[in-house]
Amino acid sequence: GDFDEALHQRGLQHAGAGPNMAGHLRIYFLMSNRSIADTHAKVHLGRYRTMWAETNSLSAIHVRSFLDSVTTFFTSPPPRLGGTLEDVSLTSGFEEYHISVTLLNANPDSRIVDWDVEGVRHHLLQPFIDSLAVYTDAGGGRPVDMLLDTQVLYYGVFPEEPQYDTRLQAHVLKAKMMQRLLLVNDWKLNTFVNHRRSKNLNFVVYVPSDRHCPMVLLDEEERPSASPSFVWPEWGGVTLLCPSDDAQVRQEVNASVPRFYLRPPDLTASVAAITMQLRQLLGIMWSLSIPLEWHYVGTVGAVPYWEMDLWHRQLIHKMIAQAVHTTMKLDQLLRRLPSMPLSDSIAYTMTRGVEYLSKAVHGGFYANAIDRAQVAVKESENAFYHQSLLAQIYFPQEHMLAVYVPFFLPALVTFLLGFIHVWKRSRVGPANDEESKKSGEETEKENDQGTPQEEWASGAKEEGKMDV
């Protein structure tokens, strides 16, 4: 640790504490008289931006092989935990985070559980968060702004009743069941007032009922998981915890419900799982996959500076890809719907987004590139979701049909029927027209003469008038 600090200060003196430090790694080769059979690691990786290798020779082959392994490690994407193919990292870019850690007692009727909140915050969670916050002292880096809150809630149910496994001598909970845990529970986790509009991440320490303890979580292959925890993308994670008997508080003999008080040693495994889940969601996983032949001399659990550099580079790439994708979608939409109105403000927003996108790609230091990539993402989304694109003067074809068809369809049907009638009459011819005309005149004459019954009735009526 002291040697790593000395090398870091040496690098600051030569390069200066500025943005040019971010993204750089200084490698030192130290000549050593140690034998090949020495058990100590020959390659050391510090917590700053330094690496040193103890070697007996500086042959070109060994140096090239070593540099190739370093290049492969620092240019590879973050590994997935447990070799899973699912990427649970956040899709959004660099932003502020609101961390909510909840102790959830599933059945307070069976036992009452409380915890040492200050001990958990200061001794377990705060060191990891502080390692993200002090990154600004590294020269040109940007700290991660995180707000940490804790709370205690009660009552929670499982999607299915956990089954007891006689082989494991514990209740088992499958990973598929954990995926539905959020659907069957209405936990009021986001009860804190978030004035900063930051990203909310929820982490729950779930204490099952005493009749379900001990409990083992099975992975997707139905094998016991090393850590009884599950992570949800864009939401957070849940960790199962069955309190040990050592955490039980002494009570009176006639106490109906046992009481447990969890101290930092009782929550070490759970907080370690929360830290791992937070790393997965943020995409900070490089320090967990250091080659076995390398010796990491930094603080366990803290995020080193070189890993923060890799994370910033990943965020820049992610935001650039997001801005490009949104801009291309808008361009395709405008080409497919040429009738859509395009105002000058949208054109200006798109132009500004493309300009900052070019600046983020071509340049500069990580801090500047992150700022420019953020502006590019914001401008591309503002242009794509601009309110003028959904103005009343624009209607898709199906909407226009739905509006105008009820007005024009009845008149069109009447017009078509009249046209068909006129067309049929025009095909009859003039001769048939004369015959139809004569038949019409005869019909009118008959109507004027009337029938014999009508003539007799009218004559009788006239005779009656003369008699009177």
Quick: pLDDT tens for 27-74. 888 877 655 444 444 888 888 888 888 877 777 887 888 888 888 888
Report helix, strand or coil for 279.
helix
Provide the strand spans (E) within 132-255.
146-154, 163-165, 170-174, 199-207, 215-218, 229-232, 236-240, 248-249
- Average pLDDT (442-447) is 54
| Cis? peptide before 304, omega within 30° of 0 | no
Residue 229 lies in a domain: yes
Q: Is the pLDDT of residue 293 over 60?
A: yes
pLDDT classification of 392: cutoffs 50, 70, 90: very low
The structure's pTM equals 0.71
Report helix, strand or coil for 2.
helix
- Average pLDDT (211-236) is 83
Is there a single domain that holds both residue 165 and residue 234? yes
Name 232's bridge partners: 236
Q: Is the pLDDT of residue 457 over 80?
A: no
Is there a single domain that holds both residue 130 and residue 250? yes
Residue 360 lies in a domain: yes
Provide the pLDDT for residue 331: 87
In this prediction, what percent of the chain has a pLDDT beyond 90? 1
- Average pLDDT (289-310) is 81
pLDDT classification of 468: cutoffs 50, 70, 90: very low
Q: Is the pLDDT of residue 246 over 50?
A: yes
Q: How many domains does the chain have?
A: 3
Is there a single domain that holds both residue 254 and residue 344? no
Measured over the CA atoms of residue 322, residue 325, residue 331 and residue 333, the dihedral's sign is: negative
Is there a single domain that holds both residue 209 and residue 179? yes
Q: 344 or 367: whose pLDDT is higher? A: 344
Residue 375 lies in a domain: yes
Residue 296 lies in a domain: no
Buried b (16+ CB within 10 A) or exposed e, 18-47: ebebbbebbeeeeeeeeeeeeeeebbbbbb
- How many whole angstroms separate alpha carbon 231 and alpha carbon 427? 79
Is there a single domain that holds both residue 42 and residue 111? no
Lowest mean pLDDT among 4-13, 232-241, 288-297: 4-13
Compute, in degrees rounded to 10, the torsion defined by CA atoms 296, 300, 302, 308. 20
Q: Is the pLDDT of residue 137 over 60?
A: no
Is there a single domain that holds both residue 10 and residue 66? yes
Residue 3 lies in a domain: yes
Are the C-beta atoms of residues 153 and 207 closer than 8 Å to each other? no
Q: Is the pLDDT of residue 466 over 60?
A: no
- How many whole angstroms separate alpha carbon 126 and alpha carbon 327? 39
Residue 90 lies in a domain: no
Q: Is the pLDDT of residue 111 over 60?
A: yes
Residue 188 lies in a domain: yes
Provide the pLDDT for residue 80: 65
Task: Give 181's contacts (C-beta < 8 A, 6+ positions apart).
Answer: 158, 159, 230, 238
Q: Is the pLDDT of residue 243 over 60?
A: yes
Boundary-marking domain end, from 329, 363, 394: 394
Is there a single domain that holds both residue 119 and residue 263? yes
Boundary-marking domain end, from 394, 429, 444: 394
Q: How do residues 8-17 score in pLDDT, each as one tens digit?
A: 777 777 655 4
Is there a single domain that holds both residue 175 and residue 228? yes
Are the C-beta atoms of residues 45 and 296 closer than 8 Å to each other? yes
Provide the pLDDT for residue 53: 85
Boundary-marking domain end, from 44, 75, 106: 75
Are the C-beta atoms of residues 116 and 261 closer than 8 Å to each other? yes
- Average pLDDT (116-138) is 75
Provide the pLDDT for residue 39: 41
List the CATH number of the domain containing 377: 1.20.1270
Residue 275 lies in a domain: yes
Is there a single domain that holds both residue 183 and residue 273? yes
Provide the pLDDT for residue 85: 43
Is there a single domain that holds both residue 331 and residue 248? no
Q: Compute the mean pLDDT over every residue in the chain, rounded to the nearest whole number.
A: 77
Is there a single domain that holds both residue 69 and residue 138? no
Nearest to 308 by CA among 287, 322, 291, 288: 287
- Provide the domain limits for residue 180: 96-282
Q: 142 or 51: whose pLDDT is higher? A: 51
Q: Is the pLDDT of residue 84 over 50?
A: no
- How many whole angstroms separate alpha carbon 376 and alpha carbon 276? 31
- Average pLDDT (200-217) is 88
Here the tokens at position 280 are 């997965």
**CA 388 distance to own-chain centroid:** 27
Nearest to 293 by CA among 53, 1, 30, 28: 53
Is there a single domain that holds both residue 134 and residue 196? yes
